[in-house]
């Protein structure tokens, strides 16, 4: 089996939706490891998410082309795999290229390196290439003692044949510098220079002390080490001026999820005319409904949060106002109303903000919706959200309340016409049944594309979401 047929180079594949590059986050194998078919070998972050790539062949890893942290274009090799390691070691390309077959006439005796070879060349070690000149020993770099005469080097036969050529001149060694070690401070002349030994001057520099300000107590009025230390003890040295440069800055490369998010948000913000409306809602009954759901047997093994009922409110409000779940198509001059709801949930991860979506969420039961929300959040936190989960969203929710924020003015994800910001639920004085009571209150913020959704439609949509959260049990009975 030849080397080319044994060694397979695995290139970075297109991980979906025309992605052109990916950053290698970590290698799950190392050179010399034996791997199996479809075994995960590397974790790569694309503009969509972080994914593990499985091996295309079984065998032994022989080379890793790029270290972790490198951005690699799709189609470039990332790892080499020996698919038949049991066949023995693989000869290197260099050694294969250096093998020459000499003709029978004039064959060189094995082992004589430097002897004659076909073509008038000199036989050399395999892998070091042909040599067309005679070998010469490089002279030792040394300086003989002055009293020892230098004997002329013996002239080899090959060198004698070309004695007419001038002999190369050996470079002369640089004379050694003589460093004068001062034994006592010297007077530098009538220039007013303070007398001090070099170690004392260095100590003063290190401590930021001006020798001119110190009265020396040493011989001839020289400044001693003790004088410098005493000066530091009684004089406050001014602190260095603060630096405002790269030494106090941190630079984060714009790549991966963060880069794609920035591009999408800029494109959306300056393409779709945004409008944001706000509604403050008494969610006391919603919070009680959450506690009731947690106590029910069918919800005991799934996490239930207020976000579940907010999502349900959005889904039911879309059924009452289908135009909200649409997209603007400038290419065809149409508004595309969608009969399916891929509900996006914004999730903050270590690599940036992502918005995976629950496919066809409008057809799910409340229990199924709770399971889907839990799975979406868990996968997002692990950083393993696949690109397919972040494609095709039609409507989104961003839960800023988990950070204690009241609400916000969210930017639309590209291709969507509405996004709801769900703020923190807080105990607040509220007029309830004509009396001021402490109620659980939250503020909703709805941003929408004003090309599709006018003020009336946006207001009705937000009103219905608020009505559901004010009385979720009654809305479920009346709207479903």
d(CA 35, CA 13): 19
Name every residue whose Cβ is closer than 8 Å to that of residue 255 and which is 6 or more positions away in sequence: 23, 71
* Cβ 268 vs Cβ 413: under 8 Å: yes
* Tokens read off for 331: 């290419």
- Give, in degrees to the nearest 5, the angle at Cα 251 between 386 and 51: 15
Q: Which of 189, 208, 211 is nearest to 198 (CA)?
A: 211
d(CA 391, CA 387): 7
* Cβ 80 vs Cβ 65: under 8 Å: yes
* Tokens read off for 417: 């016409």
N-to-C CA span, the chain: 68
- Give, in degrees to the nearest 5, the angle at Cα 274 between 407 and 428: 15
Cα-Cα-Cα-Cα torsion 327, 330, 335, 337, nearest 10 degrees, comes to -40
* Cβ 370 vs Cβ 299: under 8 Å: yes
Distances in whole angstroms, Cα of residue 152 to Cα of each of 140, 169, 261: 14, 14, 76
- Catalytic status, residue 450: yes
* Tokens read off for 438: 């402490």
Which residue among the candidates 66, 274, 321, 450 is catalytic per the annotation?
Answer: 450
Catalytic residue positions, numbered = 450
């Amino acid at each position: 089996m030849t080397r080319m047929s044994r060694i397979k180079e695995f290139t970075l594949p297109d991980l979906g939706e025309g992605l052109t590059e990916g950053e290698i986050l970590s290698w799950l194998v190392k050179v010399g490891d034996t791997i199996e078919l479809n075994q995960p070998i590397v974790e790569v972050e694309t503009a969509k998410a972080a994914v593990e790539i499985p091996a295309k062949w079984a065998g032994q890893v022989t080379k890793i082309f790029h270290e972790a942290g490198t951005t690699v274009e799709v189609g470039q090799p990332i790892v080499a795999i020996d698919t038949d390691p049991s066949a023995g070691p693989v000869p290197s390309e260099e050694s294969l290229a250096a093998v020459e077959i000499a003709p029978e006439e004039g064959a060189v005796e094995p082992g004589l390196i430097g002897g004659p070879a076909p073509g008038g060349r000199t036989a050399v070690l395999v892998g070091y290439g042909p040599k067309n000149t005679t070998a010469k020993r490089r002279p030792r770099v040394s300086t003989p003692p002055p009293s020892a005469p230098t004997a002329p080097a013996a002239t080899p036969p090959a060198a004698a044949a070309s004695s007419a050529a001038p002999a190369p001149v050996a470079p002369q060694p640089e004379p050694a510098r003589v460093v004068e070690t001062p034994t006592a401070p010297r007077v530098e002349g009538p220039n007013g220079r303070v007398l001090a030994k070099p170690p004392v001057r260095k100590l003063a520099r290190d401590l930021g002390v001006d020798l001119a300000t110190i009265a020396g107590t040493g011989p001839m009025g020289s400044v001693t080490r003790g004088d410098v230390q005493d000066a530091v003890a009684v004089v406050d040295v001014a602190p260095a001026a603060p630096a405002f440069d790269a030494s106090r800055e941190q630079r984060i490369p714009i790549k991966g999820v963060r880069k794609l998010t920035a591009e999408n948000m800029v494109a959306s913000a300056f393409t779709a005319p945004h409008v944001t409306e706000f509604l403050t809602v008494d969610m006391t009954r919603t919070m009680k409904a959450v506690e009731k759901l947690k106590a029910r047997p069918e919800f005991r093994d799934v996490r239930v949060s207020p976000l579940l009922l907010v999502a349900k409110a959005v889904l039911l409000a879309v059924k009452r106002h289908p135009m909200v779940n649409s997209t603007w198509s400038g290419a065809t001059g149409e508004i595309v109303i969608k009969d399916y709801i891929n509900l996006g949930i914004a999730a903050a991860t270590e690599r940036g903000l992502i918005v995976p979506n629950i496919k066809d969420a409008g057809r799910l039961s409340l229990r199924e919706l709770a399971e889907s929300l839990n799975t979406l959040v868990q996968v997002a936190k692990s950083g393993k959200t696949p690109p397919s989960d972040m494609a095709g969203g039609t409507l989104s929710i961003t839960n800023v309340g988990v950070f204690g924020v009241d609400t916000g003015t969210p930017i639309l994800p590209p291709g969507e016409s509405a996004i709801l910001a769900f703020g923190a639920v807080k105990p607040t004085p509220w007029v309830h049944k004509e009396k001021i009571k402490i109620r659980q209150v939250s503020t909703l913020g709805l941003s929408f594309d004003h090309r599709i959704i006018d003020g009336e439609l946006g207001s009705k949509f937000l009103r219905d979401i608020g009505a559901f959260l004010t009385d979720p049990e009654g809305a479920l009975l009346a709207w479903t």
